Structure 1
Amino acid sequence: MIYQQMFEKFRSRDEVRVAVIGAGQYATAIVTQEPQTPYLRVTVVADVNVENAREALRKAGHPDDALVFAATAEEAESAIAAGKRVYTDRGEIVAAIGSVDLVCESTGVPEAGARYAHDAIEAGKHVAVVTKDLDVTVGPILRRLADEKGVVYTPVDGDQHGLLVQLVEWAKSIGLSVISAGKATDGEFVYDADAATVTIHTDKTIHPPYQETIPVAPADAKYLGMIPEGHAPEYVAERARILAGLPQPGSYDLCEMAIAANYTGYAPQVDTLLHAPLRITEIPIAYAPVADGGVIESDGTIDLATCFRAPEESGLGGGVFIVVRADNAYSNHIMTTKGQIANADGTATVIYRPYHLCGVETSTSLLVAGLLGLNTGSEDYRPRFDLVKVAARDIAAGEAFGNDHSPQLTARIVPAAPIASGNPASAHLLTANRAAVDIAAGTLITYDMVERPADSLLWRLREQQDQTFLR
């Protein structure tokens, strides 16, 4: 593969020494995959639960006598020099460990992540960001600070937005026009026509009012058949109605699409995203331009799809997709007659990647940064859009705001705006902070509705980002 050739011929060092901060499921996969990955060495794992940090290293096959707890950067440095792997509950020491080349920030906590990423950049270390809550809030300014320091700030392979950005960049590099781009939601809608039911296939817990399985009324069954030519708008709308009782995309889904929008410059058509339940073969039918029978109003639209399939059919695997055309007629003919899935008249073709391997494949981004000094995003990363929140129920003054998994709030993607009274508040400047006033259900949360924390690096970075890009 081209990556291995580049690493062999152009690498700047023999290995990339990585510190992982936050040992959740995603990051643990990075740690456990490292022993099989050339040029990569995870030397430090940090987590507020120190046992999680140690257990990640154990799962990678390292014996206990090869593991050392460190409370200071000096202790960590000494242990690494002795060939040991370090675990710690003190993420704040990582930036001061001189032998660490790259920090993989995966805490999932935007305030903590801001500190770890910022300190790493200031210390001249590359940063790979897994915490999308951080990236969607202040990613562009962290990227700018990294550029100024001569280090890399990068999204990661394995996360859907990172993979989607690369797929878009690839399409542009070979001259394809991207009509729409998106990711599959993790859950898939499985239609059993004989039983007249649709069931969501997911590993997530299902909360009321949503259900795991819904019945299909006889009158509705036709809308679950293959979309006929010219009927995409009708079928998309009817499926939204029929399948509304199944779990819908979460704020975390929109968060990833907001990051992808900021990297690509592509825009959502509506602030909640269209989110059509589609068979793979229907994506180029529905997510094609309106003039060609689809629902997309302009090229460069970013969105979501939930894979809709029969029990025996393969799905999208939580992967990513683009709908494209070749603007040269002959090239378009070649593309649409050589096995690609196109709409009826060949004006739109879907190209998709039916998997994302989370931390198992993140090593490519870590190695591209550490060995080549490059990122796996795109060059023009700026705050074009914000993820913002709407109260899903009444919120009392003094109540803490939840994160992207909380049913307290729903999400929207809107044009980015600076911190100012009356402007929609960036979603993760709310997280764990308190409502300044009573907020009625259905209200868009603005900055004057949130109590600003007394000493927040996340907020200060956001102000710096606003001044750099939005003034």
Structure 2
Amino acid sequence: MSYRTRLQQRLEETGRPLRVGLVGSGQMGRGFAAQLLKMPGINLSVVFDVDRARAEEAFTQAGVKPSSVTDTDAAITAIENDESVALSNVDEVGALPLDVLVEATGVPDVGARTAVEALSSGMDYATLNVEQDVTVGRYMLQLAKESGQLYSVCRGDEPVETKILVDFARDLNFEIICAGKGKNNPLDPYATPDKLAAEAAQKKMNPKMLCEFVDGSKAMIEMAALANTTGLEMSKRGMYGPASTVPTLHDTFRLQEDGGVLDRPGVVDYCIGPVAPGVFVVVRSDDPYVVHEMSYLSMGPGPYFSLYRPYHLASIEAPLTVYEMALDRTPSHTSEHWTSEVGAEAKRDLKAGEVITGIGTDTIRGVADKADDFLADGCVPLGVLAGARLTRDVPVDQMLTYDDVELDESSLIVQMRRHQEALARGEQAPTLAELREAFRRR
């Protein structure tokens, strides 16, 4: 039975729609809102944005007029009356009568803050913020289990859609050689928002978001998230990123001994070329009859075959995660494994005393790595570097380590990363209640 039908049945049985909140009404948030508002049996009860007018636009673009209330008590009443509200103060989200909170800012610290509030208040929490997941996803999963609620990365982005292909291949008992994505933009590891300003304006994008795509950071983040949800490994630091086409995927991503780029099976990687915006899994079979059948089905001569989905619909598909969580009590994507990390390389010579301006800027770019190598080299996660101050010079193209920076220890995402690292060492970490109380005392 379709989710559309089941949501309608839920509405008839409970007498009220599923209440969803959204944090962030930029490009991703607005796409999510537009699609969600088309579904019966569900209400986008609140949109939070630092620019309240932009939050209102997320409703009005879909023909919904939000209530004019701005304070929390009035917002509670409006939501209980199945109205929609636009608010700017996300710190009050825990007081609202919501079933699911969706976060779409792309800012790891905002994601951490809203996740703690939502889970503490009995809401399920879904995020389009993969940057947050690759930074503290393992700790987030523990906090969600403790709360009895669900945490999930949203459908639509490449990690979740590729995971679905990986699960399909595993259910068919194929050997996974490589899973990955086609990169949407030509790679320029030294891209800056200023250089991309005109292109960003043409595409109606935030220049920092476009910069994160072009400099490769987003691909690194997404493939690390894919590795951590499937248990696959990072192919190598920075990945291979070869050129490929859809018909040649199974030739490109085969083992080196068979003419491909990979030194071992069971990895994630990406490619440049007309594979984007699709995702893929390259598999192998040693069964002669299976190889014969796959060849008969026009999948190639074998023993390598590629499974390919030619699209991912980003925020347009993200509502599917809300439906899965609410109706099936199942997350779409969690970091059940920890095989990969994302660190940062300097885009230019950085000087002691400089402040790192974060993802999608002129200072650093994301670089994915095998978790063990990352830990052994003392690398610092990309997601905690916004606002960090350099303690010494770092030359261009060098990976940043904890010794290179002084982190903003007041940041919740930094604190949560410290707790996740403590868990990895077998130590105790704060409970959800303790974490929330410590944050509210700040």
TM-score band, normalised by the shorter chain? 0.7 to 0.9
In the TM superposition, what is the alpha-carbon distance from 1:251 to its structure 2 partner?
1.0
After superposition, give the CA deviation of every residue in 1:435-469 in whole Å (9 maximum; x if it has no partner): 12222223321112212224221122112211223
Q: 1:382 pairs with 330, 337, 347, which one?
A: 337
Matched with 1:89 is: 88
The CA distance in 2 between the partners of 1:434 and 1:421, in whole Å, is 22
Q: 1:416 pairs with 363, 366, 371, which one?
A: 371
Residues 188-203 of structure 1 mapped to structure 2, 5 A cutoff: none
In the TM superposition, what is the alpha-carbon distance from 1:5 to its structure 2 partner?
7.5
TM-score of the two chains, using structure 2 as the length reference = 0.84
The CA distance in 1 between the partners of 2:256 and 2:373, in whole Å, is 34
Residues 31-42 of structure 1 mapped to structure 2, 5 A cutoff: 31-42=33-44
The CA distance in 1 between the partners of 2:285 and 2:5, in whole Å, is 30
Matched with 1:108 is: 106
In the TM superposition, what is the alpha-carbon distance from 1:9 to its structure 2 partner?
8.7
Q: 1:330 pairs with 264, 279, 289, which one?
A: 289
Number of residue pairs aligned between Structure 1 and Structure 2: 406
In the TM superposition, what is the alpha-carbon distance from 1:46 to its structure 2 partner?
0.3
Change (3 A) 1:336 1:407: farther
The CA distance in 2 between the partners of 1:33 and 1:411, in whole Å, is 30
Query: SS of 1:278's equivalent?
Result: coil
Q: Max radius of gyration: which structure?
A: 1
In the TM superposition, what is the alpha-carbon distance from 1:319 to its structure 2 partner?
1.9
The CA distance in 2 between the partners of 1:280 and 1:419, in whole Å, is 32
After superposition, give the CA deviation of every residue in 1:82-109 in whole Å (9 maximum; x if it has no partner): 3321101111111221x20111111111
The CA distance in 2 between the partners of 1:440 and 1:249, in whole Å, is 18
After superposition, give the CA deviation of every residue in 1:116-136 in whole Å (9 maximum; x if it has no partner): 111111112111111122111
CA RMSD of aligned residues (A): 2.9
Change (3 A) 1:7 1:172: farther
Structure 2: gaps (5+ residues): 200-212, 427-442
In the TM superposition, what is the alpha-carbon distance from 1:154 to its structure 2 partner?
0.7
Change (3 A) 1:179 1:249: farther
Matched with 1:260 is: 226
| 2:403 is aligned with 1:405 | no
Query: SS of 2:349's equivalent?
Result: coil
The CA distance in 2 between the partners of 1:328 and 1:147, in whole Å, is 40
Matched with 1:30 is: 32
Query: 2:255·2:262 contact (CA, 8 Å) conserved in 1?
Result: yes
Change (3 A) 1:124 1:6: same
The CA distance in 2 between the partners of 1:421 and 1:69, in whole Å, is 52
After superposition, give the CA deviation of every residue in 1:236-265 in whole Å (9 maximum; x if it has no partner): xxxxxxxxxxx9651111011111111112
Q: Out of 101-110 and 382-391, give the one that drifted further.
A: 382-391
Matched with 1:356 is: 312
In the TM superposition, what is the alpha-carbon distance from 1:294 to its structure 2 partner?
1.7
In the TM superposition, what is the alpha-carbon distance from 1:60 to its structure 2 partner?
1.5
In the TM superposition, what is the alpha-carbon distance from 1:301 to its structure 2 partner?
1.3
Matched with 1:62 is: 64
Percent identical among aligned pairs is 27
Residues 29-428 of structure 1 mapped to structure 2, 5 A cutoff: 29-63=31-65, 66-72=66-72, 74-97=73-96, 99-187=97-185, 207=195, 250-308=216-274, 316-340=275-299, 342=300, 345-377=301-333, 381-416=336-371, 423-428=378-383
Change (3 A) 1:173 1:91: same
TM-score of the two chains, using structure 1 as the length reference = 0.79
Q: 2:19 pairs with 17, 20, 39, which one?
A: 17
Query: 1:22·1:106 contact (CA, 8 Å) conserved in 2?
Result: yes
The CA distance in 2 between the partners of 1:401 and 1:166, in whole Å, is 36
Change (3 A) 1:70 1:248: closer
Structure 1: gaps (5+ residues): 190-199, 212-246, 309-315
The CA distance in 1 between the partners of 2:86 and 2:388, in whole Å, is 30
Change (3 A) 1:339 1:143: same
After superposition, give the CA deviation of every residue in 1:311-356 in whole Å (9 maximum; x if it has no partner): xxxxx3412111112343322321232133x3xx411111111111
In the TM superposition, what is the alpha-carbon distance from 1:425 to its structure 2 partner?
0.3
